[in-house]
């Protein structure tokens, strides 16, 4: 039996991603490949939580991955409640952990 090596999806379609760029998460630089969502970039960097719940402050990150559950909300470039699983990362984006509903810093 002849075995072939496993190929990545990028190899299967002949894809060559563009050059890597960086965003920041809570002041930490995160590498991103073109086309990645913010959630995918954070996952790739080993970050699984970027929001806390309003009532008990429990950690949340991506759950459904398709924008239906709202667990992946993050503050992006100062705008709270951005769905990280749907929002493409852009060079220089500043992502911060969202506390509760994301409006505490805007209240006063």
For the stretch 41-75, pLDDT in tens is 999 999 999 988 888 888 888 888 888 888 889 99
Q: Is 100 exposed, middle or buried (0-12, 13-18, 19+ CB in 10 A)?
A: middle
* C-beta atoms surrounding 45 within 10 Å: 15
Rounded-to-integer distance, Cα 92 and Cα 74, Å: 16
- pTM comes to 0.77
Model confidence over 79-92: pLDDT tens digits?
999 999 999 999 99
Backbone angles phi, psi at 73, to 5 degrees: -60, 140
Domains and CATH numbers, the chain: 19-100 (3.10.20.440)
d(CA 73, CA 69): 9
């Amino acid at each position: 039996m002849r075995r072939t090596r496993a190929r990545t999806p990028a190899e299967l379609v002949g894809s060559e991603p563009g050059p890597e760029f960086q965003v920041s998460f809570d002041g930490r630089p995160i590498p991103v490949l073109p086309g990645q969502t913010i959630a995918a970039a954070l996952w790739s960097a080993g970050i699984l939580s970027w929001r806390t719940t309003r009532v008990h402050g429990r950690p949340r990150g991506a759950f459904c991955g398709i924008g239906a559950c709202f667990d992946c909300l993050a503050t992006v470039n100062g705008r709270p409640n951005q769905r990280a699983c749907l929002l493409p990362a852009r060079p220089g984006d500043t992502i911060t952990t969202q506390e509760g509903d994301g409006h505490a810093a805007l209240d006063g």
